[in-house]
Amino acid sequence: MTSQETSRRMKVLLILFCISSILLKINGEEDYELDPAGYLVYCPCMGRFGNQADHLLGSLSFAKELNRTFVIPPWVEYEKGALKSKQVPYDTYFKVESIQEYHKAITMHDFMENIAGKIWPEGQRTSFCYMERKKLKVEPGEVVVPGCNAKDGNPFGPFWDTYNIDFKKSEFYAPLHFDVHNTIIGKKWQSKYQPHEWPVLAFAGAPAHFPVQLENLELQKYVQWNDEMANKAKHYIKNVLPKGAFIGIHLRNGLDWVKACEHIKDSKQLFSSPQCLGYNNEKGLLFRELCFQTRELIIRQIKRVVKKMNSNNPRNTIKSVFVASDSNHLLPDLSQSLERMKITVHKLEENNPHLDLAILGLSNHFIGNCISSFSAFVKRERDIRGFPSSFFAYPKDTSRTKHEEL
């Protein structure tokens, strides 16, 4: 065969390959290669967005250590009055390709549609948990077999049902754990659960710590808003807020939060408090105002930040404050207190916590709640970008406390 004939044949093969690829895309099909190293799946079934975001980073790190493809779960959301959780695809808010820059990954939908049937057949699916999870409802005379009961309760059942997943068996993985940074546990996982026998590790809960481990904070750089969310945030800032710099604040003051703050007196850390107190309390101890602030404290701190920022950058002074909150945005109080400084106060007209997050991430300065995982998401994102942030009531104003005691 001459070189010209070889060249023609290669061109024909290339054309046929391109045609077949186009036809596959037209038919909505893609050629997914199977990962011989296996897959990692889990239910993000603890808490709301902030908690799930912490777990996402830890689970992603865990999947990389095991060298398994990370199956990106949807966000589990709870609509008011609904009996079951709602599963919202990851890429509704964030870019899948950004996760893939760090480690091989696929969405839960694509995994179930294109991979699961080939390596994880129905009737042979096993759920993983550290130890037995008690069954919520036991029928009279029923013989209870110890298991993960991975689908018991909300959101567990609705999550797996969204993808028509049922489990035939349970696997208790104790005493293994997820701290892959400070131990050799990763190798132990790989040795015990080899991919040719266990192609899919499906966890009843996230294989990660809460709050997010210190070593995983930098993974926030791979959680990037998709173009739609980023553009919405920029549009709001440009077209709703007055021209000029703005401060973004996050307030936690709902009844459930007030009750949660009662645990302060019995704890060294609470929720995301390590973000300001340090993971070993090297930067301070818990106190009530760190969790729940008075209106006076909030207003006083905003004014301090405004004065400092205006002094440091007189050509781009603060013109507005954007407020995100789970309950009371305090708009009347803040507006009245900041009126003399010619600063307006704003919030979204409709509840949209994800857009809140995107806008807060772009503020000239962010003031959050040290205990809140919602605030923690904003703080991590801003740290990656080098944007300034602070927390309400932190550091503790000891001089004011002593004065009040006198």
pLDDT at 143: 78
- My answer on whether 240 and 368 are in the same domain is yes
Domain that holds residue 285: 227-405
- Kindly list the distances between the CA atom of residue 245 and the CA atoms of 118, 314, 318, in Å, as whole numbers in the listed order: 54, 11, 5
DSSP tag of 81: T
- My answer on whether 211 and 250 are in the same domain is no
- My answer on whether 241 and 271 are in the same domain is yes
- Determine how β-strand 39-42 pairs with β-strand 200-203: parallel
- My answer on whether 312 and 372 are in the same domain is yes
pLDDT at 141: 80
- My answer on whether 194 and 83 are in the same domain is yes
pLDDT at 63: 98
Residue 300 CB contacts under 8 Å (≥ 6 apart), including other chains: none
CATH number for the domain including 93? Answer: 3.40.50.11340
Mean pLDDT per 10-residue segment, the chain (406 residues): 49 43 49 94 97 98 98 96 96 98 98 97 97 89 90 97 98 97 93 98 98 98 98 98 98 96 95 98 97 98 98 97 97 98 98 98 98 98 98 85 42
CA dihedral angle for residue 284, residue 285, residue 289, residue 291, rounded to 10 degrees: 100
Q: What is the pLDDT of residues 158-199, one digit of tens each?
A: 999 999 999 999 999 999 999 999 889 999 999 999 999 999
Point out the domain boundary residue: 169, 193, 215: 215
Residue 69 CB contacts under 8 Å (≥ 6 apart), including other chains: 35, 37, 38, 39, 40, 63, 104, 105, 106
- Reference 72, options 127, 18, 112, 36; nearest CA is 112
pLDDT at 216: 98
Q: How many domains does the chain have?
A: 2
- My answer on whether 270 and 327 are in the same domain is yes
pLDDT at 8: 56
Q: How far apart, in whole angstroms, are the C-alpha atoms of residue 153 and residue 265?
A: 31
